[in-house]
Amino acid sequence: MKNLLRLMVILVVVSFAFNSYSVNTVEVTGKDSPNDKGEAIDIKWTLDASLKTSAIKVFVFRKVQGEAEYKQIKELDITAENFNDKNELKNNIPYMYYLEFRNVTGEVVYKTNEFGPYVAFPQWINTDKIPTFIFSLIAMIVILIFIQVAKSGRKLYVRPLPGVQAIEDAVGRATEMGKPMIYCPGISVISDIATLASISILSRVSEIVAEFGSRLIVPNYDPIVYSVTDEVVKGAYLKVGRPDAYKADDVYFLTQRQFAYASGVSGLMAREKPAANFFLGWFMAESLILAEAGSMTGAIQIAGTDSISQIPFFIVACDYTLIGEELYAAATLMGEDTRLLGGLKGQDYVKLVAMILLIVLFVLKLFGVPGIDTILVGGN
């Protein structure tokens, strides 16, 4: 009887031991997070199915290699199978980790051995962005080649845009009617390409306005954009030899609140009854408010934006709309600078390259060639 009891105890102990060490197993790996400035380590683990049911939380502990004490750095749900450690990590220092799995009462169900050391270090190149880098380089080279071709004197044809012709006509119309024009450079900041393109167009428009002796009102949303537009308009008057005709009060900062700006410009249009309104730049929800308010005054309206969601509003409410990249091309088409025209032509050829590339990738995808999605949508 005594021997039987001993045997039963041994069997129970062995069965518990078997459950603890062969059923609850965790495989852990770690490495420096790729394509970052360092200060981050990726830890991954795979859980046994039984551990997923017995534990509810994972606790991550870390210490610098050689130090005595571990510190708890993260508490995760049991569903988590990886952790990106950015918790006050320093580069080039080896870190050790271990994981604890706890049940609903907080008891430790399983604890891994310590693992590591892992060292975080910065990368100079983001390898995920290499395809973008290559295509950017190709685009730049093609554009620069066409700029050189244009400089050499070769005639390049670029399809004229009705909206661009309409800008010049609108200035003439406003002059004949003796009414002012309103130019909105959008509600974005100076670093936005749409704002820069708009300022380029403003430069050409204000030259024509200065020549014709009509009036251009430029209410600005951003104070830095205001500083630039003010100087650009002043420069245009200076260039055509009429600095005295420049009115500093017609180019001004209005407000930096979106709907206050819409309200201010709508009020301006209602009071001044302009002959032409230009909405060129980056716009948001105020686009339709501006365009409809302008439409009610009977002014000819020319809009242009690269804000995709606002293009339909401008199309329905304005007489002419420059869609997306047409906004960037407008200033070039208004001027006679051959180098800029060359750049525009180069841009068209880059588009051709992009189209060919997309068609080739599409056909390869149809034939089931692997990896096409990765090329099309990025490195991940």
Partner 1 sequence: MFFKKTVPFIFTLSVGIFSFFYYFMPHAFMQDLWDKASQWAIIIGGGAMFVGVISMVRAYYKRATNKSDPNRYFAMLTIVCFIAMTVIGLITGIKPGSLFNDIFVGIMIPCEATMFSLLAFYIASAAFRSFRLKSFSAGLLLFSAIILMLAQIPTGENISPAIPWLKGWILDYPNVAAQRAILIGIAIGSVATALKIILGIDKSIYAGVGGK
Residues 106-145 that bind partner 1 (CB under 8 A): 122-126, 129, 132-133, 136, 139-140, 143-144
71: closest CA among 60, 81, 82, 85?
A: 60
Question: Which residue number, 132 or 165, has a Cβ lying nearer to partner 1?
Answer: 132
CA-CA-CA-CA dihedral for 337, 341, 342, 345, to nearest 10: 180
Segment near partner 1 (CB under 8 A); pick from 66-74, 102-110, 153-161, 305-313: 305-313
Give min distance, CB of 131 to partner 1, in A.
11
In the beta sheet, which residues pair with residue 301? 277
| Structure tokens given for 225 | 């954009």
- Of 7, 354, 369, 375, the one binding partner 1 (CB under 8 A) is 354
Give min distance, CB of 25 to partner 1, in A.
35
Question: Which residue number, 6 or 86, has a Cβ lying nearer to partner 1?
Answer: 86
Distances (CA, A) of 252 to 172, 181, 220, 225: 23, 14, 6, 10
Q: Which of residues 239-298 bind partner 1 (CB under 8 A)?
A: 239-240, 248-249, 251-260, 262-263, 267, 271, 285-286, 288-289, 291-292
Angle, CA of 142, 145 and 147, to the nearest 5°: 110
Tell me the angle at which helices 338-366 and 325-334 cross, rounded to the nearest 10 degrees: 150
d(CA 308, CA 285): 12
Question: Which residue number, 6 or 37, has a Cβ lying nearer to partner 1?
Answer: 37
For position 35 contacting partner 1 by CB under 8 A, the verdict is yes
d(CA 315, CA 295): 12
For position 324 contacting partner 1 by CB under 8 A, the verdict is yes
Q: Which of residues 39-98 bind partner 1 (CB under 8 A)?
A: 39, 91
For position 238 contacting partner 1 by CB under 8 A, the verdict is yes
Give min distance, CB of 118 to partner 1, in A.
18
Segment near partner 1 (CB under 8 A); pick from 61-69, 101-109, 164-172, 331-339: 331-339
DSSP string covering 105-170: TS-EEEEPPPEEEEE----SS-GGGHHHHHHHHHHHHHHHHHHHHHHTT--------HHHHHHHHH
Number of residues that bind partner 1 (CB under 8 A): 92
